[in-house]
């Protein structure tokens, strides 16, 4: 996920979340039909806007009654929201987890009360989760490694050895390791590729700019750069621009650049050939996929409705009906497919495919960066 910006709605919804939950609690008994709870945080900028609005659009399209609870990026508040939801007697809970460990008691409490909890985007670590929907940061890192190798060889076919600079997130955030680990392994397994250094970008554009610029000044230009998040990718581009090293693809001195995440700005640089490829998430599918299975769970035979570990789910197995939102036919292109069903922390992980953004598809409507840009 993009962890570096906060959605503006945070301040409205976050501040009123507890009150809304309380009011909803008082009114809950009078409501008719199935009520689902949705607990979320609002940090994440345009990325999160796309992710959250897609959930709201889909729930509305499907006529689902979704109570949304903001947690103000606070673990206690998240816990309390879930416990209130259980008291209110919602049928199921969709959870964009803030505290992956701290929220576990509430999920277990919900499970005991017969309320399934589906995690989405960020998982919790208890086996009481019914199903988790998201891509895999590790797999994205691996894909980025493979793309970097392929693009670097394409860009410089006569070259045998490639020096790669890795821009790492922040050591205190688990996602940094997740997005680095398989990237590093992939490159280490490839002859002729060496990660010559790893600098810290702190998920910030200015920190990455400074770190990359200093590194290149001290050591000379690398053959390729990998950044594991959108703002760091743009920081690396800014450093190359400052050093007059922003040669587009096709030029002899082009530095291969692969990043994770693709907002509108990244897509523009991909289109210009400064960034070779971006590995992105089908974020606007996460919620609808989870809601679809949640509805099947509630209205059907519970856990039997969910895919089994080891399955591969394709677009033929699961249809998310497209509908017009944000000026496009949203969900028309099943960029999430295929999905692998694996086990994670004792529960099902519906692991979607990552999405590759390169010069062949940069202008397509199915990238969230182009829709919500």
Partner 1 sequence: MSTSISTMLNRTEMDQHKAMLAVLDHMIWPILLVVCLGVFLLVPQTFGSLGMIELVIYGSAALGFLVLAEGICLLSGHFDLSIGAIAGFSAMFTAMLLSPDQWGVIQSPVLAVVIILTVATLIGVVNGVMISKVGVDPFLQTLSFLIIFEGAQVWLSSVPVSNLPDGFTATGGSSGVSITLMIAAFAVMGLLLKYTSFGQAVYAVGSNKDSARAVGIKTDQLIITVYALSGFLSGIAGLILLGRVGSVSPQLANDLLFPAFAAAVIGGISLFGGRGKIAGALGGVLLLGVIQSALNISGMSVNQIQTINGIVLLIAILLYNTRTNIRDRILTNEVSG
> Interface residues with partner 1 (CB under 8 A)?
4-8, 10-11, 45-46, 48-49, 168, 171-172, 197-200, 202, 204-207, 209-211, 213-215, 217-219, 231, 234-235, 238, 241, 263, 265
Least distance CB 12 / partner 1 (angstroms): 9
Least distance CB 168 / partner 1 (angstroms): 5
Sign (positive or negative) of CA dihedral 305, 309, 311, 315: positive
Cα→Cα distances 255→220, 294, 306, 364, Å? 12, 45, 45, 25
Least distance CB 264 / partner 1 (angstroms): 8
Looking at the Cβ atoms of 144 and 199, the one nearer to partner 1 is 199
**Residue 261 neighbours by CB under 8 Å, 6+ apart:** 2, 47, 229, 230, 233, 278, 279, 280, 281
Among residues 119, 125, 80, which one has the least CA distance to residue 96? 119
- If one counts every other C-beta atom within 10 angstroms of the C-beta of residue 96, the result is 26
Least distance CB 281 / partner 1 (angstroms): 16
Looking at the Cβ atoms of 49 and 97, the one nearer to partner 1 is 49
Least distance CB 274 / partner 1 (angstroms): 14
Q: List, as one string, the DSSP characters of 106-158.
A: HHHHHHHTT--EEEESB--S-TT-SEEEE--HHHHHHHHHHHHHHHHHHH-TT
Looking at the Cβ atoms of 26 and 218, the one nearer to partner 1 is 218
The phi and psi torsions of 40 (rounded to 5 degrees) equal -150, 165
Q: CA–CA separation, 25 vs 27, rounded Å?
A: 5
Q: CA–CA separation, 109 vs 365, rounded Å?
A: 41
Least distance CB 47 / partner 1 (angstroms): 9
Looking at the Cβ atoms of 168 and 193, the one nearer to partner 1 is 168
Looking at the Cβ atoms of 109 and 173, the one nearer to partner 1 is 173
Looking at the Cβ atoms of 217 and 312, the one nearer to partner 1 is 217
- 254, 118 contact by CB (below 8 A): no
Looking at the Cβ atoms of 204 and 278, the one nearer to partner 1 is 204
Least distance CB 215 / partner 1 (angstroms): 5
């Amino acid at each position: 996920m993009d962890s570096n910006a906060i959605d503006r709605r945070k301040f409205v919804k976050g501040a009123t979340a507890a009150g809304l939950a309380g009011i909803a609690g008082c009114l809950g008994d009078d409501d008719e039909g199935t009520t689902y709870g949705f607990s979320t945080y609002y940090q994440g900028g345009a990325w999160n806007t796309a992710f959250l609005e897609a959930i709201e659009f889909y729930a509305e399209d499907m006529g689902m009654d979704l109570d949304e609870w903001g947690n103000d990026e606070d673990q206690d508040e998240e816990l309390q929201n879930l416990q209130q939801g259980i008291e209110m007697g919602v049928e199921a809970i969709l959870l964009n987890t803030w505290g992956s460990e701290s929220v576990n008691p509430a999920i277990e409490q919900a499970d005991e009360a017969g309320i399934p909890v589906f995690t989405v985007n960020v998982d919790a670590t208890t086996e009481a989760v019914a199903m988790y929907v998201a891509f895999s940061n590790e797999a994205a890192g691996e894909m980025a490694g493979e793309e970097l190798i392929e693009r670097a060889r394409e860009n410089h076919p006569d070259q045998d050895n490639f020096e790669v600079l890795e821009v790492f997130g922040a050591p205190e955030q688990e996602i940094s390791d997740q997005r680095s680990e398989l990237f590093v392994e992939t490159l280490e397994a490839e002859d002729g590729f060496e990660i010559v250094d790893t600098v810290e970008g702190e998920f910030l554009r200015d920190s990455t700019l400074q770190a990359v610029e200093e590194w290149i000044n001290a050591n000379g230009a690398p053959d390729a750069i990998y950044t594991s998040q959108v703002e760091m990718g743009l920081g690396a581009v800014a450093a190359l621009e400052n050093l007059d090293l922003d040669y587009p693809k096709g030029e002899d001195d082009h530095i291969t650049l692969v990043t994770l995440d693709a907002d509108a700005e990244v897509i523009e640089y991909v289109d210009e050939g400064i960034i070779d490829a971006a590995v992105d998430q089908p974020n606007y599918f996460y919620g609808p996929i989870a809601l679809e299975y949640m509805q099947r769970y509630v209205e059907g035979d519970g856990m039997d409705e969910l895919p089994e570990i080891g399955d591969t789910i394709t677009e033929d197995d699961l249809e998310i009906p497209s509908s017009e939102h944000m000026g496009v036919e949203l969900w028309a292109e099943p960029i999430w497919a295929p999905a692998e069903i694996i086990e994670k922390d004792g529960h099902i992980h519906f692991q979607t495919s990552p999405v590759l953004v390169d010069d062949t598809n940069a202008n397509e409507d199915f990238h969230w960066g182009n829709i919500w840009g």
